[in-house]
């Protein structure tokens, strides 16, 4: 038990720095040393959703740097299948930049865009099955970083004061501690929650592609983005937060950096190796509401690390799932919740991630108590209005 307590206390140290004000520019902030060294290789966020007529898949990749690199390929991977968790076909949409504004994007041999794609309307491919914008836009990601940091500080204090940690790695916070954690999360320095990322303008790649080019394996699409150098993959992201919020929380900086480098070089097919590490982090999130074992997919019958195995397996895959048969898109995890919990109200939701989802609050709520509304950081929208319909979707900088 003492060892578990020390580990849980150690967990909060890197988490607190994770939510700090240093290099936090998107949901995939504080990444590995390699991408920190070249922000043009650093994926901030990936978004994916269907058009209202469910004829097109819309994709966005924001890059922490303000320009694109002529040494990198920026890749959207779209896997497809008939059921959640299993895909049988894949399509890659690959963009390269010989110079900053000159995009060259291809979707296999089906269509290609070449030229200056920085005008708001972007460029259409020769076969009109691919449309691309590439340039600076307003960052749609919003997050109360200071409130998150304050919430974790409350948890850290409780652990230092000998909160009991069960065999699954979940601290048993009392009701006052839990209430303080959730209250602090909604505030910024004692006032209303504010968006730390206001005004950030990353380089952005926006793609709209015919669904017929990407759904050959079935109606369910699994999307992830990658930056690829001449010799290796440098960064990747699917869902928000997974790569930087669930890896290395118990490790020294050197071990944490190695984990993130390995994770960024991996693919969904090779990500099972990270399940044990993610299980460790899930125990802490499960504790924030004062009840251990009510996280989504948590095994209530066991107090071992296996309690979080099912959820860790889902998160390690780290792909954004989109139901391409629907043109109605309302929330993150819609496909997962419909498939894994039988949520009938979400069966006809495209899921994925639009620019306006309150994705961070949904993500954290799922990890805290299995709902999509329990954690509220007081920030529910970006300062600018983004569109899910009008290309290039992202607001102007």
What distance in Å separates the CA atoms of residue 339 and residue 190, rounded to the nearest whole number?
39
Q: Please, are residues 51 and 39 in contact by the beta-carbon 8 Å criterion?
A: no
Q: Is the confidence at residue 24, as pLDDT, over 60?
A: no
Task: Give yes or no for residue 23 having a pLDDT over 60.
Answer: no
pTM over 0.75: yes
* pLDDT, average across residues 258-283: 94
Average pLDDT over residues 323-330: 97
* Structural domains present in the chain: 33-140+200-244 (2.60.40)
Residue 271 vs residue 1, higher pLDDT: 271
Rounded Cα distance between 375 and 382, Å, is 18
Indicate if the pLDDT at residue 216 is higher than 60.
yes
* pLDDT number for residue 247: 87
What would the pLDDT profile of 241-270 be if each residue is shown by its tens digit? 888 789 877 667 888 888 999 999 999 999
Q: What is the mean pLDDT of the chain?
A: 90
How crowded is residue 175: how many other Cβ atoms within 10 Å of its Cβ?
A: 10
Residue 37: pLDDT band (50, 70, 90) is confident
Residue ranges in 117-239 assigned as alpha helix (H): 145-160, 175-185
CB-CB contact of 341 with 371 (8 Å)? no
Q: Is 62 left (phi over 0), alpha (psi -120 to 50) or beta?
A: beta
In this prediction, residue 254 carries a pLDDT of 86
pLDDT category of residue 28 using cuts at 50, 70 and 90:
low
């Amino acid at each position: 038990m003492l060892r578990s307590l020390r580990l849980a206390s150690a967990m909060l140290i890197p988490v607190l720095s994770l939510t700090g004000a240093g290099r936090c520019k998107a949901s995939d902030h504080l990444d590995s040393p390699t991408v920190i060294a070249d922000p043009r290789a650093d994926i901030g966020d990936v978004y994916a959703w269907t058009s209202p007529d469910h004829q097109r898949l819309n994709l966005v990749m924001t890059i922490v740097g303000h320009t694109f690199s002529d040494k990198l390929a920026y890749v959207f991977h779209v896997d497809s299948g008939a059921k959640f968790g299993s895909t049988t076909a894949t399509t890659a949409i690959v963009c390269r930049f010989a110079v900053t504004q000159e995009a060259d994007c291809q979707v296999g041999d089906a269509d290609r865009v070449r030229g200056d794609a920085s005008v708001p309307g972007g460029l259409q491919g020769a076969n009109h099955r691919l449309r691309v914008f590439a340039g600076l836009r307003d960052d749609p990601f919003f997050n109360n970083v200071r409130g998150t940091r304050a919430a974790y500080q409350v948890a850290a204090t409780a652990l230092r004061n000998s909160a009991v940690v069960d065999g699954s790695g979940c601290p048993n916070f009392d009701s006052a501690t839990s209430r303080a954690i959730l209250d602090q999360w909604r505030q910024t320095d004692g006032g209303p929650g504010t968006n730390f990322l206001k005004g950030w303008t990353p380089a952005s790649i926006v793609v709209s592609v015919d669904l017929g080019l990407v759904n050959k394996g079935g109606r369910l699409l699994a999307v992830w983005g990658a930056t690829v150098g001449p010799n290796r993959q440098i960064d990747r992201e699917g869902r928000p937060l997974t790569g930087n919020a669930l890896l290395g929380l118990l490790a020294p900086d050197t071990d944490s950096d190695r984990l993130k480098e390995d994770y960024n070089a991996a693919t969904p097919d090779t990500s099972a190796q990270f399940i044990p590490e993610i299980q460790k982090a899930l125990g802490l999130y499960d504790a924030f509401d004062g009840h251990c074992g009510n996280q989504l997919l948590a095994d209530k019958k066991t107090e071992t690390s296996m309690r979080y195995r099912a959820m860790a397996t889902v998160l390690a895959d780290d792909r954004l799932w989109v139901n391409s048969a629907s043109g109605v898109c309302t929330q993150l995890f819609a496909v997962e919740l419909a498939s894994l919990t039988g949520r009938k109200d979400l069966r006809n939701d495209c899921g994925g991630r639009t620019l306006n989802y309150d994705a961070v609050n949904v993500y954290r709520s799922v990890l805290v108590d299995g709902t999509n509304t329990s954690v509220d950081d007081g920030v529910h929208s970006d300062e600018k209005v983004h569109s899910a319909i009008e290309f290039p979707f992202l607001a102007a900088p």
